[in-house]
Structure 1
Amino acid sequence: MLKMEMLRGFATVARTGNLSDAADALGRTPSAVSMMLKQFETHLGEPLFETDRKNRLTALGTFVLEQAERELQQFDNTVRAIEGYARAAHGRVRIATVPSVASTIIPRVLSRHMPDFEQLDLEMRDMDSSSIRHELDRNRIDIGIGTIGEHVAGLDSTLLMRDAFGVICARAHPLAAERGPVTWEALEGHRLIANSLSANIAAEPARALHRGSLLTAQNVASILGMVQANIGLTILPEMTTWAAAQSGLVFRPLADKAARRELHLVKKHDATLSPAARLFETRILETVADWNRGDAVRP
């Protein structure tokens, strides 16, 4: 039975032209290499070399060398691919995050650790939290980041950060001239552009403001465009304003410290991440830890 070891040993002898150099290259003794060649020739029933000096191939030897080198190259490429995948040097990572994370945290992960990911097939999508959960349930992504919560059946969740809500208004808006946190009462009488993020704030004054709102938008760019046109004010997490980086807007924090969203990293409970996905997860956690400590430069 032919083995890859036989093909490699024969090809090494054929390329070096002698047993001694081939043995050094293979890390074996000349006698062990000679015995391997004899076993190979016995199996084939024909000699591979014209003389015992191993410096001239027979016609069979020439044919075997051509086939062996092609097979060895394929085998070595396969081994490198397998080992690269296991080391997270190769592979595919599918990640979906809410837009604010996609434009702030993820770019920092990539810029800090790009050498780790140069050979990876990275698929990055931004979407709302409910869509992220939908994609996880259907195994279409490996990692999700959103406001999904800690105790969701079938998912493992890690709290990344808490992001405070605040009021965003145009510089021409009356609230822009004031300073300090904004109370719920101070928002009464102002036109609110409601959105799905602020609609989840549990405080009753916030719910009352949303019930009275006649204008709702979901796309952050559209919301901020209307705010910049001074059509109304809106309430969004602070990170959203960093991601938007639009001039002409004022962000004022809410006085209600409980008005925060929690961003979690989530993955399927019963699925084992690939080495590449595990590495990406680790780099996200490291980057967010620096962000939370204030080590990262924020917009």
Structure 2
Amino acid sequence: MASLIALRHLRSFVAVADTGSFTRAAERLFLTQSSLSATIHQLEEDVGVKLFERTTRSVTLTPAARHLHRQAAGVLAQFDAIVSDLKSLALQAQGHLRIAAAPSVLAWLVVPALPRFQADCPAVTLSVREGGAAEIERRVRDGEVDFGLTSRLSDYDGLDYTPLLQDRYGVVCSPDHPLAQQVGELGWSEVSAYKRDLVGLASDTQVGSVHRSTLQRFDLAEYREEVSSSPSLYPMLELGGRLCILPALTASTHQLETLPFRPLGTPVLYRELFLVTRNIRSLSGTAQALLDALMGVLATRRLPQGVQPAQAAFSQHRTAPGSAPGA
């Protein structure tokens, strides 16, 4: 006997599994709760297994439901991507693309890639959000943007992280600062001697949090001043008598490249930057076109000192419409 399972059954199941509530799932799907319950019952009847344990207060997934959840979400994501790509073709690649990027990646990589992308997709509009790693990961996870370019901070299970660039930490300082006269690598003890001059970045950035243990080790965890993003650093350092610990790519953007930069010695620290995508959804054709443009810039532009490409490349995400990322 042929199965009667349809996409509406899978959408209803995934909505209940995601929300843990028939009431909230019905609201998400714009259905009555009785209609949703009937659809779930039809699905359970067809597959011959119970999917939810229901009480007056909670809905719990059975082992069979947990197994089905990821697969069903993937099927729906692939179907939606196919429809999206077909619509894009019908509209001659019209539409709107949304991405989020760390400020240094936006300035050094995204902006130079825009002319090529706009030439390939002239009818596509683009929104770019910059922010700290925590904000960008959340935007990708929640589907607010098509992909992100940032560090791996929260490490969500629902996201894929493809390594893009690696850059080394060093010190940027005001031209009048004593460390500006140093040549070559700086030792952490040399920097800690000027800890009262340190300007820090907020903890929702990878720069501000991941290397915190090293800063504490050298008594550099307390900042004289703190800013929320790297573009704010240049006017602060221009005041004089200040320094900041930064990765090399950041030090080469936002006018900071005009200030002295000295790499830090042992322990040598590196930041990794990633392409961040949702692992249940393949990239659209327009998103892939922007990634192609980004790769073109990365392949031809000279990297700043202390920056190197990661071993993995965006080619891992060159997928056919509707295929799973990395397949």
Query: Taking structure 2 as the reference length, what is the TM-score of the superposition?
Result: 0.58
Determine the C-alpha separation between the residues in 1 that align with 2:172 and 2:215: 17
Which runs of at least 4 in structure 1 moved beyond 4 Å after TM superposition?
81-84, 291-294
Asked if 2 retains the 8 angstrom alpha-carbon contact of 1:156 and 1:269, the reply is yes
Gaps of 5+ in 2: 1-84, 305-327
- Report whether the alignment pairs 1:266 with 2:290: no
TM-score by length of 1: 0.63
SS of equivalent residue, structure 1 residue 244: coil
| AA at the equivalent of 2:262 | R
Kindly indicate whether the alpha-carbon contact (under 8 Å) linking 1:171 and 1:248 is maintained by their aligned counterparts in 2: no
Q: What is the CA-CA distance between 1:244 and the residue it aligns to?
A: 1.0
In structure 2, the CA distance between the partners of 1:156 and 1:204, relative to structure 1 (3 Å rule), is: closer
Aligned to 2:82: none
Equivalent positions of 1:41-52 (< 5 A) are none
Residues in 1 aligned to 2:123 and 2:287: alpha-carbon distance in whole angstroms: 13
- CA change 1:292–1:262 in 2 (3 A) is farther
Shift in Å, 1:135: 0.8
After the TM superposition, which residues 1-299 of structure 1 pair with which residues of structure 2 at under 5 Å, given as runs?
85=89, 89-148=93-152, 152-190=156-194, 191-196=197-202, 197-201=207-211, 204=214, 207-246=217-256, 249-256=259-266, 258-291=268-301
Structure 2: how far apart are the matches of 1:150 and 1:287?
28
Partner Cα distance (1:86, 1:292) in 2? 38
CA 1:87–1:101: 2 relative to 1, 3 Å:
farther
For 1:117, the aligned partner's letter is C
The answer to whether the 8 Å contact 2:118/2:124 transfers is no
- Aligned residue-pair number: 214
Counterpart-to-counterpart distance in 2, 1:154 and 1:199: 22
Matched residue SS, 2:104: helix
Specify whether residues 248 and 283 from structure 1 end up closer, same or farther in structure 2 by C-alpha distance, changes over 3 A only: closer
Q: What is the identity percentage for the equivalent residue pairs of Structure 1 and Structure 2? A: 26
Give the number of the structure whose alpha-carbon radius of gyration is greater.
Answer: 1
Counterpart residue type for residue 127 of structure 2: E
SS of residue paired to 1:104: helix
In 1, distance between residues paired with 2:118 and 2:253? 21
Contact 2:189 2:218 in 1 (8 A): no
- 1:228 CA drift (Å): 1.5
Unaligned runs of 5+ in 1: 1-80, 295-299
> Cα distance, 1:137 vs. partner?
1.8
Shift of the 86–273 alpha-carbon distance from structure 1 to 2, 3 Å rule, reads: farther
| Structure-2 separation of matches of 1:114 and 1:262 | 28
Amino acid at match of 1:270: I
Corresponding letter in the other structure for 1:211 = A
- For residue 152 of structure 1, report the CA deviation from its aligned partner: 3.4
What is the rounded CA distance, in whole Å, between the counterparts of 1:172 and 1:149 in structure 2? Answer: 34
Aligned mates of 1:106, 1:277 — CA distance in 2: 13
Q: Secondary structure at the match of 1:243?
A: coil
Shift of 1:86: 6.5
How large is the RMSD of aligned CA atoms in angstroms? 2.8
* Mapped contact 2:251–2:257 kept (Cα < 8 A): no
Offset, 1:83: 7.0
Question: What secondary structure, in the 3-state scheme, does the structure 1 residue paired with 2:297 have?
Answer: helix
- C-alpha deviation, 1:122, in angstroms: 1.2
Shift of 1:88: 6.9
